[in-house]
Amino acid sequence: MLLLILKRIGLGLITLFIVSLITFVGVEVLPGDACTTYLEREAYGAALDACIKRLGLDVPAYERYLDWASNVMRGDFGYSLSGEMPINEVLGPRVKNSLVLASVSILIGIPLAIVLGIITALWRDKLPDIMISTITIFSMTIPEFISATLLILIVAIWLGWLPGIVIIPSDATFYELLSNIILPVVAISMIMTAHMARMVRSSVIQVMASDYVQMAILKGVPYWKMVFRHVLPNALLPAINVVALTIAWLLGGVVVTEVVFNYPGLGRLVIESISNRDLPVVQALAIILASIYVGINLIADLMTLMLNPRLKSLQIRK
Amino acid sequence: MQSNLVTDDKQKNKLEKAFEILKTMASKPSGLIGLTIVLFHVVLALISPYIAPYDYKAISPNTMLLAPSAEHWFGTDSLGRDVFTRTILGGRTALTVTFFGSLIALLWGGLLGIFCGLVGGKIDDVVMRVVDAFLSIPWILAMLLIVSLLGTSTEVLIPALGFFYGKGIVRVARAATHDVIAKDFIVSARARGHSNMSIIWNEIIPNVRDAILVEGAMRWSWMLLGFSSLSFLGFGVSPPTPDWGLMISNARGLMSFAYWSVIAPIVGLSSLIIGINLTADAFAKALGIDRSTKAPV
């Protein structure tokens, strides 16, 4: 059991190491280094030399990678080019804002998805299922920027209920955030809920068809007791992993949603830093986003392990 | 003569089988709707240059932000361009880029996956680690990096999308190969002394093809989503190319009084994505593959 957990953590760390290599190499082969980007047309002669010296670009690439990696491990991402300030200071408020947005969406999305998934599974192919399933298919297939744009058009412009665009600085307080956050949260949790509800639905349907549920029915266990005692624990367990992957996948959607609503989070920073060619920030973001992905998956794996008695006795799981 | 007959027969069987699958797909309302939408978009993409009433890049200050009328069915945008023309041409860009992108994804993802599943051992371990690492970089960051590295032309976008949406196919192809490889007919093919290439070609590919094709169909809709999101963010095709994502992003700022120029591309893109999704779902069901419990990775 312990060995298994250690192995999972080890695999996650290896993944992060490869990600750091990929982004470092990717940034390395970008045409023009940080100095030519930063100095633009003045990139020649003494100014260029001085800049190269200052940013330490005159040492070989592998040394710079080791240097950078050891700094990152100590939590220091270096300096951003455009703002000339420590990346940690740039990231701090952005991370907080994105966390608020993501956690509110998840807190609304997961319970809603479980309820909807169970309803659609228990009333399979009946009216509630057909209605909810149609809506979920629509909301999960339509791109985030379209549903977000439609939300702004309908709720903010035509009905005039809420502000369409978030106009708060990146260091806004928690309460300022909450009042501005409603439409972005709706946009994100709509898609997330739809994905997860579909998975819960098929998981419940699978369990309902299993032998032990048939057995419980034949034994005369009351319907709702059967649902809550026998079906749900077994159906929700495999859903945890899938839910984790979905949340991680939605990181991309969060980027787009933040841009549509002008929300000052990590996602908008991704676009800003790539437009500005602020490579140190791009590197930092890649590592952070990949860590979130690896972390969520790790937590999901561990939760499945804890909750599943059968896996506890296993040493290695494929 | 004899062999010719056999291949003719095989060919016919293949066609019949494809037709059977199409029939099964269309037998359910959702599959029929999906197929109809996709067919509509493909036909429209093929004929749109001939039926477009205006020039898609003709800018005119006299026709700025006109409401829909008999002359301009979907109105005009902020540069005076006809929205109907640009909307029907927008499907061409989206379909071409994502179709060839999916083809590339299928090819390299499928072949690498089969190779890894067949070889196993150390090579397999290393490749899968790298694939996992690529999977853990959010697609948007990876695509943005590539695009800012190589520029935003379709020659860059197609292979880039193909590469990034192919890594998930590697996993599926590898798993399917693992399922097949332990079967008796592979063992007997090896015993007969067939080469690895012949085993891949004659034994493995026919057996993993369905799983890979279904995955590819699903990827197609995600790739369309990714591609239009890139265009929306300003990192996809460059103006004045008629593209839905680009049109929505341009018209968004003015939608409080000119909503038509944002509605038309939204309807176009949403219907195509929903159509491809329904088709892919029906395709999976017709081949007996259940995808509903999988995460969208």
**B236 Cβ contact list (under 8 Å, min separation 6):** B147, B152, B157, B227, B228, B230, B243, B245, B246
| Complex ipTM over 0.85 | no
Query: Within 13 A of A223's CA, how many CA atoms are on the CB side?
Result: 1
CB-based contact B152:B176 (threshold 8 Å): no
- Superfamily for A91-317? MetI-like (1.10.3720.10)
Nearest CB to B133; choose among A22, A241, A249: A22
Closest of B135, B105, B79, B136 to residue B216, by C-alpha: B105
Nearest CB to B273; choose among A142, A245, A282: A142
Q: Does A154 touch chain B (CB under 8 A)?
A: no
Nearest CB to A246; choose among B139, B274, B295: B295
pLDDT at A285 over 80: yes
pLDDT at B173 over 80: yes
CA A264 distance to own-chain centroid? 16
Which of A134, A145, A154, A251 is the best substitution to test chain B (most B C-beta atoms within 10 A)?
A145
Q: Which domain holds residue B216?
A: 21-55+68-292
**Residue B13 domain-assigned?**
no
Q: Which amino acid is at A278?
A: D
Q: Tell me the C-alpha distance between B7 and B179, whole Å.
A: 29
Nearest CB to A15; choose among B132, B273, B293: B132
pLDDT at B3 over 50: no
pLDDT at B1 over 50: no
User: Tokens 């379909």 label which residue?
Assistant: B95
Domain ranges of chain A: 2-73, 91-317
CA distances from A236 to A197, A202, B292 (A): 11, 10, 15
pLDDT at A166: 67
Q: Tell me the C-alpha distance between B53 and A294, whole Å.
A: 51
Ranked by mean pLDDT, which of A103-112, A155-164, B18-27 comes out on top? Answer: A103-112
pLDDT at A318: 39
Residues within 8 A of B (CB atoms), A 266-295 only = 270-271, 274, 277, 282, 285-286, 289-290, 293-294
* B52-104 tens-digit pLDDT: 777 777 777 776 767 777 777 777 777 777 778 888 888 888 888 889 999 99
Nearest CB to A143; choose among B138, B228, B235: B228
8-state DSSP, A288 = H
* A232-275 tens-digit pLDDT: 888 887 777 777 777 766 777 788 888 888 888 888 888 888 77
Q: Does B229 touch chain A (CB under 8 A)?
A: yes
Please say whether the dihedral angle defined by the alpha carbons of residues A290, A291, A296 and A302, taken in this order, is positive or negative: positive
What spatial distance separates the first Cα and last Cα of chain B, rounded to whole Å?
Answer: 49
Q: Which letter, b or e, does each residue of B139-160 get, where b requires 16 or more Cβ atoms within 10 Å of its Cβ?
A: bbbbbbbbbbeeebebeebbbb
Closest of A11, A20, A23, A287 to residue B129, by C-alpha: A11
pLDDT at A1 over 80: no
Other residues' Cβ atoms within 10 Å of the Cβ of residue B261: 26
* B199-241 tens-digit pLDDT: 888 888 888 888 888 888 888 888 888 888 888 888 877 777 7
Q: Does B293 touch chain A (CB under 8 A)?
A: yes
Q: Tell me the C-alpha distance between A256 and A196, whole Å.
A: 20
Helix A182-208, helix A232-249: angle, nearest 10: 140
**Residue B9 domain-assigned?**
no
CA A152 distance to own-chain centroid? 23
Q: Tell me the C-alpha distance between A104 and A265, whole Å.
A: 14
Closest of A144, A102, A136 to residue A116, by C-alpha: A136
Closest of B207, B230, B256 to residue B147, by C-alpha: B230
Q: What 3-state class would DSSP assign to A122?
A: helix
Averaged pLDDT, A92-99: 82
* B115-145 tens-digit pLDDT: 888 887 788 888 887 887 777 677 777 787 7
Residue of A nearest to B146 (CA): A26
CA A71 distance to own-chain centroid? 25
**B56 Cβ contact list (under 8 Å, min separation 6):** B81, B82, B85, B86, B89, B240, B242
Q: Tell me the C-alpha distance between B160 and B48, whole Å.
A: 27
Closest of B156, B105, B145 to residue A25, by C-alpha: B145
pLDDT at A316 over 50: no
A190 CB neighbours in chain B (<8 A) are: none
Number of domains in chain B: 1
| Choice among B147-151, B161-165, B278-282, B285-289 with the minimum mean pLDDT | B147-151
pLDDT at B104: 92
CB-based contact A240:A304 (threshold 8 Å): yes
Q: Does A245 touch chain B (CB under 8 A)?
A: yes
Provide, rounded to the nearest whole percent, the portion of chain B with pLDDT above 90. Answer: 2
Q: Do the Cβ atoms of B293 and A271 come within 8 Å? A: no
- For residue B69, count CB atoms less than 10 angstroms from its CB and return exposed for 0-12, middle for 13-18, buried for 19 or more: exposed
Q: Do the Cβ atoms of B138 and A246 come within 8 Å? A: no
Q: Do the Cβ atoms of B133 and A270 come within 8 Å? A: no
pLDDT at B100: 92
Please say whether the dihedral angle defined by the alpha carbons of residues A163, A168, A170 and A173, taken in this order, is positive or negative: negative
**A162 Cβ contact list (under 8 Å, min separation 6):** A155, A156, A182, A183
**What percentage of chain A's residues is helix, strand, coil (to nearest 5)?**
80, 0, 20
Provide, rounded to the nearest whole percent, the portion of chain A with pLDDT above 90. Answer: 0
Q: Tell me the C-alpha distance between A161 and B184, whole Å.
A: 66
Q: Do the Cβ atoms of B140 and A252 come within 8 Å? A: yes
* B212-223 tens-digit pLDDT: 888 888 888 888
B252 CB neighbours in chain A (<8 A) are: 149, 260
> Read out DSSP for chain B?
-HHHHHHHHHHHHHHHHHHHHHHHHHTSHHHHHHHHHHHHHHHHHHHHHHH-SS-TT---GGGTTPPP-SSSTT-B-TTS-BHHHHHHHHHHHHHHHHHHHHHHHHHHHHHHHHHHHHH-HHHHHHHHHHHHHHHTS-HHHHHHHHHHHH-SSHHHHHHHHHHHHHHHHHHHHHHHHHHHHTSHHHHHHHHTT--HHHHIIIIIHHHHHHHHHHHHHHHHHHHHHHHHHHHHHT-SSPTTS--HHHHHHHHGGGTTT-THHHHHHHHHHHHHHHHHHHHHHHHHHHTT---TTS---
Write out the two tokens for A159. Answer: 């009905």
Instruction: Give me chain B's average pLDDT, please.
Output: 80
Q: Which residues pair with A79 in a beta bridge?
A: A86
Ranked by mean pLDDT, which of A37-46, A251-260, B39-48, B78-87 comes out on top? Answer: B39-48
pLDDT at A72: 74
**Residue B99 domain-assigned?**
yes
pLDDT at A43: 59
Q: What CATH code is carried by the domain that includes residue B157? A: 1.10.3720.10
